[in-house]
Amino acid sequence: MKSEKISELTTNRLSVYLRCLNALAIAGIKTVSSQALAEQFNLNSAQIRKDLGYFGEFGVRGVGYYVADLREHITKILGLDNPHRVGIVGAGRLGTALANYRGFSKSNFSVVAVFDNDQTKIGKRVGEDEIAIYDVKKMPLVVKQKSIDVMVVAVPARVAQRVLNQIMSAGIKAVLNFAPAPLSARLDVKVKTVDLTTSLESLSYFLAQPQSTVTVNRGNKKRFEELKEVDEQEL
């Protein structure tokens, strides 16, 4: 891998490439070129080659990429070849919904604990896996016992920074934040914020535009229909 720093945009795109490769594997496709990958999933072939080039040479001249091999490489690059154990702070509606989300397991993440300060919730269990709700004061102990390495913040904005401070004190280095608030973290702690409000406002802008200005991407529509067929076959 090149010594230059890899941007978060690059790692975000690697995640997209991995999902695309997963879809190709399900469809039984063994090899794919960067151009074919770009055309099928509305991506940029030059960007794909550049992003992958940061981590090595994966293509074969005259063949392209072997789907299974490239999936394995990207999985290792993203650290998804090792299981990650997740804790959620906040046992409200959002935290409970996240604890029930089955999609985590597809990327080798598993929710193993939920934390809250509400005494009426502590000791109860949530989700199909019956994940226990712990007192947030016991976070350092539970993090150690359950080997938690990722924490999700699902609390109101007014207490989000305090919760992050507790999470950092417990030794967690990776945090996914759903609270609509800017958070300050130590340099050795990575916080990624999912801003639902901003995303919805962006959608609102799309809806507010005159219909004549809306461009339909036929390639995306066709690919969506293909993936929908694959999903229906898996059910």
CATH code (residue 31): 1.10.10.10
Q: What is the pLDDT of residues 125-141, one digit of tens each?
A: 998 889 999 999 999 99
The C-alpha atoms of residue 167 and residue 163 are separated, in whole angstroms, by 6
Task: Note whether residue 161 is domain-resident.
Answer: yes
More confident residue, 187 or 232: 187
* Overall average pLDDT of the 47-58 stretch: 94
Least confident of 86-90, 129-133, 216-220: 216-220
Asked which of 25, 50, 77 is the last residue of a domain, the reply is: 77
**94 and 47, same structural domain?**
no
Asked whether residue 38 falls in the same domain as residue 116, the answer is no
Is residue 127 domain-shared with residue 30, that is, in the same domain?
no
Q: Are residues 152 and 55 in the same domain?
A: no
Decide if 231 is inside a domain.
Answer: no
Confidence of residue 225 (pLDDT cuts 50, 70, 90): low
Q: What is the model's pLDDT at position 102?
A: 86
CB 93 within 8 A of CB 121: no
Do 164 and 116 share a domain, yes or no? yes
Q: What is the pLDDT of residue 223?
A: 52
What is the number of structural domains in the chain? 2
Q: Is residue 98 part of a domain?
A: yes
The verdict on residue 168 lying in a domain is yes
State which of 77, 103, 130 marks the end of a domain. 77
- Indicate the residue among 77, 100, 129 that finishes a domain: 77
**What does the alpha-carbon distance between residue 226 and residue 40 come to, in Å, rounded to a whole number?**
10
pTM comes to: 0.81
Residue 3 lies in a domain: no
Instruction: Write out the residue range of the structural domain in which residue 67 sits.
Output: 8-77
Q: 């809250």: which residue's tokens?
A: 116
